[in-house]
Amino acid sequence: MGLSLWRNGRLATLDGDAPWGLVERGALLVEGALLRWVGAEADLPRGLDVQAEHDLDCRLVTPGLVDCHTHLVYGGDRAGEFELRLQGASYEQIARAGGGIRATVAATRQASDEALFDSARRRALALMAEGVTTLEIKSGYGLSLEHEARMLRVARRLADQLPLTVLATCLAAHALPPEFEGRADDYVDAVCSWLPTLHAAGLVDAVDAFCERIGFTPAQTRRLFEAARADGLPVKLHAEQLSEQGGARLAAQFGALSCDHLEYLSDDGVAAMAAAGTVAVLLPGAFYFLRETRLPPIARLREAAVPMAIATDHNPGSSPTLSPLLMMNMACTLFRLTPEESLRGMTVNGARALGLADRGRLAAGQRADFTVWDLQHPHQLAYRFGGGNPCRRVVVAGIERNR
């Protein structure tokens, strides 16, 4: 397996104690799908048998971006609801009136497999164009065994056909489908019974739920998590987005990979997440689009050393964005993260939110996923918004991806 050398770059390794893990005039040695050596070019080991050499032209290099929370597979859109919210309707009011997630469920069920794949592929390509190399995709717009499986198969197909890592999360406990109206407990029982089938088919990497007043109660979420644990699946949770339900504390009891949204996260929830090693996934796109005013408790998360990830939360109802760089900017401007925190949120902490320890940093032994930017310093990634994409080259598992 030959060595390839990527030289003459400014590396934001996010490794070690120095700010950004910055290495001036750095180099990376790639062997197969892994980074064999990372450091200053002047310190390159001697006697290397390099098969290919690439000049980075003094450009910035970061780990490949990780978008750890998306709803990329769905039919239709919800632009009409955007207009209703501008006229004063709340997200919760629209959902209770039959819109929201249920509207997307109807459109998704009606869409063909090919239509779902083609639209999801276009969305994935847009994320990839801004440096994403690892992506999570949730189901949750099928809400039946047949249609949830269809969504998850699309996610697997994207992984097969694109130079991209895709993890699939079962979010069947996203909303109550119309055929289960008034029978939420029966629906949770049904979802629990689907998990072994979906897992045995190789379609599920994790299980998620929407624990909220318009979603599922903590007791119902607990039953789902118990079923996931019995099947050997990790869990994560849409928690404390619209109200404080104790979801983060519950998720932490199950060693959740992440809790996501968290605008109403309590001090007890922060402490529970810190003790469990659960990642806080911040979703500034949804916060912005829904015109929320209550901020996640960033200072308390920092004080408790809870890792903070950032994701696009791409979905048709509350975050129809396909720009991870814009999310990094919004995390700084809306949530007051530092630019370095925002980059760590889209790399090492995003990977951690997916249970992946082999990416997110530029270090020997890590997967050779990295992005080359037409920028001089990593703080420029979160500085710009709108207009112009600075992503110039992307390497995935040691192979350069065609743009």
Given pLDDT bands bounded at 50, 70 and 90, which one contains residue 1?
A: low
Give me 42's structure tokens: 């002047």
Give me 315's structure tokens: 């979905």
CA distances from 347 to 272, 289, 294 (A): 23, 23, 26
Q: Render pLDDT for 35-86 as a digit per residue (tens, 0 to 9).
A: 999 999 999 999 899 999 999 999 999 999 999 999 999 999 998 888 888 8
Q: What pLDDT score was predicted for residue 403?
A: 58
Given pLDDT bands bounded at 50, 70 and 90, which one contains residue 344?
A: very high
- Pairing of β 60-63 and β 370-373: antiparallel
Give me 132's structure tokens: 């994403």
Q: Render pLDDT for 273-317 as a digit per residue (tens, 0 to 9).
A: 999 999 999 999 999 999 999 999 999 999 999 999 999 999 999
Given pLDDT bands bounded at 50, 70 and 90, which one contains residue 96?
A: confident
pLDDT at 255 over 70: yes
Q: Tell me how crowded residue 149 is: count the other CB atoms within 10 A of its CB.
A: 20
d(CA 268, CA 271): 5
pLDDT at 100 over 90: no
Q: Render pLDDT for 115-138 as a digit per residue (tens, 0 to 9).
A: 999 999 999 999 999 999 999 999
Q: What pLDDT score was predicted for residue 84?
A: 85
What are the structural domains of the chain?
A: 3-63+361-401 (2.30.40.10), 65-353 (3.20.20.140)
Q: What is the DSSP letter of 399?
A: E
For residues 206 and 238, the answer to whether their CB atoms sit within 8 Å is no
**Nearest CA-CA partner of 240 in 324, 301, 180, 326:** 301
The distance of Cα 346 from the centroid of its chain, to the nearest Å, equals 8
d(CA 319, CA 92): 15
Give me 76's structure tokens: 């239709």
Span 380-384, average pLDDT: 96
Q: Which residue has the tokens 């310093």?
A: 377
Q: Tell me how crowded residue 193 is: count the other CB atoms within 10 A of its CB.
A: 11
